[in-house]
Structure 1
């Protein structure tokens, strides 16, 4: 085990066997924070976006905030009820992608997959960016460095998830539950003070909001409806993450579907309660909240706020007011909110790799995304998601308000196609089902999915109308790009499978094998390659040397004759001192002379142990192999010769490997001295 392997074990933990996959499954108490943290954390920024949109018409438009909150809550309830049907009908973990593919066809499935992939990336970018904003409001030195801080948080989440889903879930459970206690506790205290008439005002209550140009008292009814639609579409960001549970059913303990449906119900109830409580309390506490880029519309006594005014997030303002005599409560709420916003991205880190593995299995994504890492997590998918999210964070400077415009388009596309697919699913099964009780259950499920489709279709239309020019077009473009890439990957794999399919001609053996051993000097690597080539018993065997220096060529030919190797030496003259092209041309001439034959090229190679030695050796061999791989009918074989430095590296690795020997003994994987393997009973 090398230094790199030791470092990997320290960071990720010891490897897990494939048979240990069952040990990574999650109980409901851990699954809730793992899969629901995204939807729960949305209450930290969805209300902010509702108030920002309404502020365009001035503070008077805040009277609509609670009605918009109820509308969002109704949509969330419909979506949660719909996905409870999905987890029972499709417990394999394909979620929206599987539902759309099975019931609506491959094109619909690819559309859903592209939408979900984009949404998962945006989930990480939005959640981490929002958490960075909260951290900057609490820690002054972070102000102005939110993007870099967010990037570090993404890398930290990536490292944690590479350790495995169970480890990340256990680690995230405490802050997620702390967030629930903090928000629900703050709202409970605020509602009790509201009932007693002692509810305090937030810090921005003394300010006023000037309407944006085109809004205000002169605003038409159509403009008001459009404004309310924009606020509603922004508030629907609270629905993101609901679909993650349907994609993560395989990660639950048995009974998987029942546990996933129960977790989904808990998620919906908690998220709706939090969101409605925050929106109503914030309005009652006199909140004035505008776009951070339009702070000049926030005034006091008719004058704009100072240039250095720091507008705190909605939850931060509420916590400061409610816990004005208890600063510990304020810091607790702000801290756990910032943490949950960072951890909310963990929902995507669990959903994206699973979806990527399913797409890889179906041939729509690189097969590397379907491979589990040392800790049984889909490591390549985790790393790819982190890289894409970091690019977005840096491109938009971790500004949540800018990123939120790209959000929820993809998730509502998948919502709609998934609900339509479920309606088709129940309709198809009703044609063959005869049991009355089962038919009644299917009818009820179809009605629930129909209601969900109606709600999500309305939201999707509103989102497209209100957010398209504000940035949603970028999301749609990204979905199209992912769709085209997936189609191209699938086409490539199909073409490869067709080319690789065995037929009757593959039974025909080559008529002859013409073996060529490349010679640079007559030394140990060359002699080993000649010996190996002889052992394969080719029809023709010869050494091939490229001559660029007459004197060196003469010396080699003399030494070759002196050793009497019994193998002819072919000298290829290269007047332009090229080494690769003469060999390739010679191999192709042999193949052309005997089309049914095979040319076997043996390349002696040095094996070195130090990285800098790689730069000093094997460059010609590497280029030659790269050229010969594209030559039909030419087989390339590397014959390694280990130099002293490679032996030193191997000895060092053996010494380092002894560090883990006690663990190996505990696991019962160490061979006995007589050479037999001893397996400790478990």
Structure 2
């Protein structure tokens, strides 16, 4: 099993190798910007599809919609460049909003971003499968299966680490950028210099409008809906601000430079493709089988409608040419790899939320390849669930898109305005104040623009599926609030508010090793138990998964004058089991005729969902220790308040066999006390 894991993921990396995994700007661009760059493949088509409802006469409005989208994109990019320099520790909109508006607003943005990242994977992969389906009939018949396979491959690639996945994705990303910019440049040269006639494959087709004679409010609503669909070009812009810690030093400056490059390239490609689409007379219809007329007749169910970028490529280079094949191949690849933006944004944001105790602690842990492995797997599960639920249908999934993006944009830019207001209150240098005034004006303009777009998106897309995104944001908010409440409740319950003596019990003689993670009631209880065992040796052991936390633990240990020696074990691969097993075996070898008793403080919870949040590392460690000769394992349980519910259930089921509670030195033994001896610390005081 371990050999297969190493084959798929590569060798484990030490914690001190983290600096080697940080990204140069040329690698960071494909890692974090594949989503906004790839949106050029479908955002122009979304604009034309909506306008086609009113027929070809509405196509001329796409010029103003394109300009509005480009202005919005450049404004948001410029605003986020200030964000990454003001908040270089990552977290992006979540960090900005939490710092300036408080926990609830921060959680709202965090939930919005998590929903958007899940949708990014589902939409990008489904769009890639849809594009590939036009050339491969097997893919067309098995879209859901193929989408799940692609998501699994993306998961494995990202589990290998950010740097390796970035290197793998760099070639197709840059190939797509070269292909699109080359198309725009050659198309512009042919149109402006050579004065060639370029016609899209659908240029001679006609469109039957679904709604005729639109005017006034109805036409305005249609234009706003087309604009909101075109705003899909902005998805993923915020990923760089969330992933600043992955950049090399100076992190803020490198992230800002990457953002500027991404914004300039994405805006140029979007503007160029839309201009060529109008110049070559591209025709798209929401229901091409019925509404697209070829020679006066409906296209029929067998017609496959090519996306805008493919039609533009055919018009500029000629269908079947080498340049055309290069462009379409790069487009299909970038649509698959666009999900990589989410695979780098979601785990980092999940780690920050977990560090703030809003998500399970496991999401804050780096895997043996120094990637946030649990976050990657969690994102894969959610995206796969969405693909199955919506049958990999791009048209249905894309309606859920954008809402979360503009919720985060709006809150983030508003938070930056408050940030600059605070800076102005402290800054006295006139030149610095002028810079802050300019920055505040830019963020204020961005906030106003984003709140306007958010309202437009909610109004025009709510009934088309945007409500699902809002429900998803509410679910994430509720879950994160519940997790934080639980962790806060447990921390308060375990706080050191009673004398150490009240936590102790008196056991027998052994060589005792107490596993310590932090100093709280369960730890002191376990130490008291081990200290009174009349052991030949007694040592407390902690594993330095986080060197900073280990140093803080040692300092507190000295401050409290605990009379048990503390041994700190190095964990270069951030895994507690192997270092601890090696230590126990070494102790066993030094005392071959004695018994080593490992004492582990353990929470006792009353609900299944609490078990997910606690004791996972202890369970893995105990499973290994039980296989080690000459070693016994003693769990010193500390029953949380919620465990009372489990005791009540046990009493109702088996009144004479309820578990005896050893809680804060009080309780009674059930009639099967001997059977549970390993879980009981010893006689009650």
CA contact (8 A) 1:83 1:243 kept: yes
Residues 124-273 of structure 1 mapped to structure 2, 5 A cutoff: 124-195=121-192, 196-212=194-210, 215-216=211-212, 218-273=213-268
CA contact (8 A) 1:510 1:598 kept: no
> Rg bigger for which structure?
1
Distance 1:207 1:436, change over 3 A: same
- Cα deviation per residue 1:355-389 (whole Å; 9 max; x = unaligned)? 00000000100111001001000000000101111
Residues 34-183 of structure 1 mapped to structure 2, 5 A cutoff: 34-183=31-180
The TM-score with structure 2 as length reference comes to: 0.76
- Which residue number in structure 1 is paired with residue 407 of structure 2? 413
CA distance in 1: counterparts of 2:52 and 2:172, whole angstroms = 32
* Runs (5+) with no aligned partner, structure 1: 516-530, 537-579, 604-620, 638-682
The DSSP-based 3-state class of the residue aligned with 1:238 is helix
After the TM superposition, which parts of structure 1 deviate over 3 Å for at least 4 consecutive aligned residues? 509-515, 531-536, 580-592, 594-603, 634-637
CA distance in 2: counterparts of 1:449 and 1:371, whole angstroms = 34
The TM-score with structure 1 as length reference comes to: 0.76
- Which residue number in structure 2 is paired with residue 340 of structure 1? 334
- Cα deviation per residue 1:163-200 (whole Å; 9 max; x = unaligned)? 00000011111111110110110111111222233132
- Cα deviation per residue 1:333-370 (whole Å; 9 max; x = unaligned)? 11100100111110000000000000000010011100
Distance 1:119 1:174, change over 3 A: same
* Runs (5+) with no aligned partner, structure 2: 510-592, 599-650
Residues 237-316 of structure 1 mapped to structure 2, 5 A cutoff: 237-291=232-286, 293-316=287-310
CA distance in 1: counterparts of 2:669 and 2:255, whole angstroms = 58
CA distance in 1: counterparts of 2:477 and 2:418, whole angstroms = 23
- Which residue number in structure 2 is paired with residue 650 of structure 1? none
Shift of the alpha carbon at 1:602?
Answer: 8.8
CA distance in 1: counterparts of 2:3 and 2:426, whole angstroms = 58
**2:447 is equivalent to residue 449 of structure 1:** no
CA contact (8 A) 2:661 2:667 kept: no
CA distance in 2: counterparts of 1:298 and 1:439, whole angstroms = 58
Residues 274-673 of structure 1 mapped to structure 2, 5 A cutoff: 274-291=269-286, 293-324=287-318, 327-508=321-502, 585=656, 595=666, 634-635=680-681
CA contact (8 A) 1:55 1:62 kept: yes
Shift of the alpha carbon at 1:595?
Answer: 4.0
Shift of the alpha carbon at 1:34?
Answer: 0.7
CA contact (8 A) 2:288 2:303 kept: no
- Cα deviation per residue 1:246-277 (whole Å; 9 max; x = unaligned)? 11111111111111111101111100110011
Residues 16-35 of structure 1 mapped to structure 2, 5 A cutoff: 16-35=13-32
Shift of the alpha carbon at 1:507?
Answer: 2.2
CA contact (8 A) 1:513 1:597 kept: no
Query: Number of paired residues?
Result: 547
CA contact (8 A) 1:65 1:280 kept: no
CA distance in 2: counterparts of 1:30 and 1:135, whole angstroms = 26
The DSSP-based 3-state class of the residue aligned with 1:299 is strand
CA contact (8 A) 2:660 2:667 kept: no
CA distance in 1: counterparts of 2:77 and 2:102, whole angstroms = 24
Shift of the alpha carbon at 1:330?
Answer: 1.3
CA contact (8 A) 2:34 2:173 kept: yes
Shift of the alpha carbon at 1:598?
Answer: 8.3
CA distance in 2: counterparts of 1:588 and 1:116, whole angstroms = 44
- Which residue number in structure 1 is paired with residue 10 of structure 2? 13
